[in-house]
Amino acid sequence: MKCPKCCLSKSKVVDSRINAPKRPKMGWQYWVKKASKSFDWYTPDWRARRRVCKDEGCGHRFMTIEITVDDLTDALTDAAQNGFNET
C-alpha cells in the first residue's frame, strides 16, 4: 500500500489487531476501538493494521482497516436501507 502522505513509497505493516482492547488509550488502541465500533455491528471479520512508510525521509505512520469487499458492500447496502446509527 502506498503512503498517503508522500504517495511515493510503499508502507509496511508494523502491527495488526482484530479486536479492541477493554480499556483503550489515545493512540493505536483508541483507533482500534473506533474500528470495532464501526464494523462489529455487521461483521467481526476485520483487521486494523498500523503501517509506516518505508521512505526514511517520510516515515509517516497511519492505520488502515481491512474488511472484505462483500462485507463492505453488504454493510453499506444495509445501512442505506435501514439507516445507520452511530454510537
d(CA 78, CA 28): 29
Q: How confident is the model at residue 48 (pLDDT cuts 50, 70, 90)?
A: confident
Q: Which residue has the cell 504517495?
A: 7
Kindly report the pTM of this predicted structure.
Answer: 0.66
Q: Residue 23: is its pLDDT beyond 70?
A: no
In the beta sheet, which residues pair with residue 21?
Answer: none
Sheet containing 11-17: give its strands across: 11-17, 47-53, 61-66
How much of the chain, in percent, has pLDDT values that exceed 90?
Answer: 20
Mean pLDDT of 10-37: 72
Mean pLDDT of the chain: 80
Q: Residue 29: is its pLDDT beyond 90?
A: no
Q: What is the pLDDT of residue 5?
A: 93
- 83 vs 80: which has the higher pLDDT: 80
d(CA 16, CA 49): 4
